[in-house]
Amino acid sequence: MGDRRNSALYAWLRWLVLLAAGFFSLMAGQLTGKAWPPTQLWVLKLALGLNAAGILCGAAALYGEVASLRGLALAYKERIASILNAPDAHAPSGPVVAKPHALWRASEWLCYAALLGSLVLWVAFIALL
């Protein structure tokens, strides 16, 4: 169950970052070089900035997912090595768990917050047109 949740989260975050990057590229290409009133220009800059921050935080969160899977593989390796090195000793019991570092979990939530803020600013930008 946890593995399905992690793979679904990884896929969701990957697509979210991919869509945000595509949207950033499209909007940056379409809206640059035009003259905007100061208010619209600031809203546009903030929207693009939050979109970029969301992409970066999402990339960090995705790295954290991969790093936690690597940590899980290393923990399994250590568990198997300890069993093979001391076959007569009591084998360790319990699940092998590798939680993502708090920084990676925080970057996931920062990604969501930045992309949500960017979406709100894009709506405001369109309303100011």
Residue boundaries of the structural domains of the chain: 2-28+42-86+102-128
Asked if 68 and 102 touch (Cβ cutoff 8 Å), the reply is: no
pTM, rounded to two decimals? 0.81
Q: How many angstroms separate the CA atoms of 25 and 48, rounded?
A: 10
Q: What is the pLDDT of residues 10-49, one digit of tens each?
A: 899 999 999 999 999 999 888 888 889 999 999 999 999 9
Alpha-carbon distance 84 to 60, whole Å?
36
pLDDT digits (tens, 9 = 90+) for 44-56: 999 999 999 999 9
Q: Tell me if 113 sits within 8 A of 53, measured CB to CB.
A: no
CA distance 15 to 87: 45
Each residue of 83-98: pLDDT tens digit? 777 766 676 667 777 7
